[in-house]
Amino acid sequence: MASNATIFKAAVQISDMDRQYYGDHALTLARHPSETDERMMMRLLAFVLHAHEALLFGRGLSTEEEPALWRKDLTGAIDLWVEVGQPEEKTLRRACGRAKQVCIYTYGGRGADQWWEKHLVTLERLNNLAVMNLPLDGSRVLTALAQPSMQLQCTIQEGQIWIADGEHNVHMVLTKLKDTSAPFGQ
């Protein structure tokens, strides 16, 4: 965590009907000085979508050897590597070699579309890589929920995502750009 990071606290209740996962999480998110609220909230969304007692946030933007989120097994092997934004192709190839499954969450509208078009051919070859995109309107409404102290209720059903904070209730749908071709755990 960067020494001058801004700290956000989130109490998150998750009801993921698609994965049959239900849980409450008390999360601390350190927003690096160069990180936007939009990227931080995308990390939070990625956590919600992959929630697990062993899922951890990486050390941040300044640490290239760690993802935004990851989950390791008891031996230290990486089960899941999650990135947000538009990571370098080299980083993704390395992550796919180190982890059983790699998930990328892009956002930001046209910039994310251009990133995908540029890397599509190379990334299609990575069997354990999944790429999802949150359209610009989705990332904007998600960013509106960013507060230093958040109480969030998250519901996921049939690919639909609802996040509420008591005042706002936002609905989002991710676009799946690429799915893994190898089953998880292989």
User: What is the pLDDT at residue 54?
Assistant: 95
**What are the tokens at 66?**
């760690």
pLDDT for 59? 81
**Domain residue spans in the chain?**
6-178
Q: Which DSSP helix (H) or strand (E) runs through 154?
A: strand 149-157
Q: What is the pLDDT of residue 23?
A: 97
Per-residue confidence (pLDDT) for residue 182, from 0 to 100: 52
Q: What is the 3-state secondary structure (H, E, C) of 131-151?
A: EEEECHHHHHHHHCCCCCEEE
> What parts of the chain have a pLDDT lower than 70?
1-3, 60-64, 182-186
At 186 the pLDDT is 36
pTM over 0.95: no
What pLDDT, on a 0 to 100 scale, did the predictor assign at position 74? 95
Q: What is the pLDDT of residue 1?
A: 46
Which among 88, 87, 23, 74 is positioned nearest to 49, based on CA atoms? 23
Taking a C-beta distance cutoff of 8 angstroms, is the pair 65, 58 a contact? no
Backbone conformation region of residue 158, classed left if phi is above 0, alpha if psi is from -120 to 50, else beta = left
Domain 6-178 fold: Restriction endonuclease-like alpha-beta roll fold (3.10.640)
Decide: 40 and 110 in contact? Cβ < 8 Å: no
Asked whether 139 and 168 are in contact (CB, 8 A), the reply is: no
What would the pLDDT profile of 71-101 be if each residue is shown by its tens digit? 999 999 999 999 999 999 999 999 999 999 9
